[in-house]
Structure 1
């Protein structure tokens, strides 16, 4: 777990300065955004997070907007609203459909387009799933799919319906009481969400019925929350800081406290899976932080 600050790794005297000086002439023809991106990556090569966690440059598809990881798979959307799937160290475009959010997990790969229409990725293409308009969707639960609308209503697709969906048809979503602007589930320990006031909530969702155990408000404020397959929970604050929830177990699934995760830049999105914290910075770069 990352508990301490950023440190500069050891380099020979003058080596980093020399490399940066060599880099500057190459940057003259770049736009300001490209310069910021290039300098950020250069500096990142000399930075690591101490005490058990190291952040490094991940596979890039610039500018990245949103990322999601689950069951060993990683997907993302970029600034052009295209979805990508990570194979090895290379991002592969998942068709020509414009998507603003994509999620991968036990329920498969699901996404929403610019008009809040929902899709499932089936046999190499996204299949439209009529029935509910969502601005964010999550496939990380125990087979169920959850999502929220642009008016903060919460919806859930039962696990049997989600797994059986193969061809275009109208799906029957279950409405969950409450109001959230972001919702994330795991097959372990339950689901987490944040509302428009940045309040953080926890609940358990029954995959086969979409019934919930009731909402528990958790201390802290955040604009997004993600829960990994193993139950690890991370949030991003309005200021771009990242925190991990501590004390989560079967008897206390809502956890007990937050620990700040030091980052070399403001962060806009995170996702955690199998020891890797995938991070999207405000620059649109992707970091891979190893636990």
Structure 2
């Protein structure tokens, strides 16, 4: 295995561009998904959620998960039965309510995501932050069919529909979950992530990573996509504090700066 990792390090070095240098990150066998927010990093392997401490991964639970996210709204997960959980006092607490496919905790303290019926959903910030594992969660349906949804802090939200089309929502109220200003963005992605300051990264069906460029106050949705060279095909990315985290289709974690 050490020889394989060393070979992959060479590949990543050769694939690095002037803007990005990638390397193999903290080893998590068979990594499937990763999320970074508020200086914290979580991930999951084929079965369980993990939390990164230094250069080591620590398993958070024996609950089998399919998505995990950390941010201003806390640490949340969706299990393999599509039930939503919040990490409270060292344990994941299951919340009754809507079944979800994916959640994102990185917005302005609200929790967003995609339901199993493929609609974008939002949980108000007051509810998401205050939830302590008791009672049902009342989600707000955004009225748009999405399979992946990610929000920043006051920089809008990005989503992917069931046809891999990319959407941007400019106005998002964390207190009421009222969302407006939807715009169809050029490109085709399977997932998209926006960090707290509005930097946007997406992954295509072929595992190519792109960053959205040209984002300004007058054009918060940007102007075009710029490819980020990677040494291997990628299935999932997340960005926080200047570092891009990526999971390859073969289950390796990469970090790029």
Q: How does 1:208-219 map to 2 (within 5 A)?
A: 208-219=175-186
Task: Give the TM-score normalised by the residue count of structure 2.
Answer: 0.96
What's 1:13 paired with? none
Contact 2:108–2:152, Cα closer than 8 Å, also in 1: yes
Contact 1:143–1:207, Cα closer than 8 Å, also in 2: yes
Q: How does 1:139-158 map to 2 (within 5 A)?
A: 139-158=105-124
Q: Quote the Cα distance in structure 1 between the aligned partners of 2:69 and 2:211.
A: 20
Asked whether 1:44 is paired with 2:8, we answer: yes
Q: Quote the Cα distance in structure 2 between the aligned partners of 1:67 and 1:167.
A: 24
Which one of 62, 82, 105 corresponds to residue 116 of structure 1?
82
Q: How does 1:1-291 map to 2 (within 5 A)?
A: 40-46=4-10, 47-48=12-13, 49-79=16-46, 81-203=47-169, 204-290=171-257
Q: Quote the Cα distance in structure 2 between the aligned partners of 1:140 and 1:210.
A: 14
Contact 2:17–2:229, Cα closer than 8 Å, also in 1: no
Q: Quote the Cα distance in structure 1 between the aligned partners of 2:56 and 2:35.
A: 15
> Residue 156 of structure 1 aligns to a residue in which SS?
strand
> How large is the RMSD of aligned CA atoms in angstroms?
1.2
Q: Quote the Cα distance in structure 2 between the aligned partners of 1:214 and 1:140.
A: 20
Q: Quote the Cα distance in structure 2 between the aligned partners of 1:168 and 1:114.
A: 21
Post-superposition offset of 1:250: 2.3
Post-superposition offset of 1:40: 4.5
> Residue 62 of structure 1 aligns to a residue in which SS?
coil
Deviations 1:10-55 (CA, angstroms, capped at 9, x unpaired): xxxxxxxxxxxxxxxxxxxxxxxxx6xx554222222421203110
Contact 1:107–1:159, Cα closer than 8 Å, also in 2: yes
> Residue 45 of structure 1 aligns to a residue in which SS?
helix
> Residue 180 of structure 2 aligns to a residue in which SS?
coil
> Residue 161 of structure 1 aligns to a residue in which SS?
helix
Deviations 1:142-174 (CA, angstroms, capped at 9, x unpaired): 010011122211211000011110132111111
What's 1:25 paired with? none
Q: Quote the Cα distance in structure 1 between the aligned partners of 2:107 and 2:183.
A: 18
Contact 1:189–1:250, Cα closer than 8 Å, also in 2: no
Q: Quote the Cα distance in structure 2 between the aligned partners of 1:166 and 1:132.
A: 17
> Residue 44 of structure 2 aligns to a residue in which SS?
strand
Deviations 1:209-242 (CA, angstroms, capped at 9, x unpaired): 0001131000000000000122110000000000
Larger radius of gyration: 1
> Residue 187 of structure 2 aligns to a residue in which SS?
strand
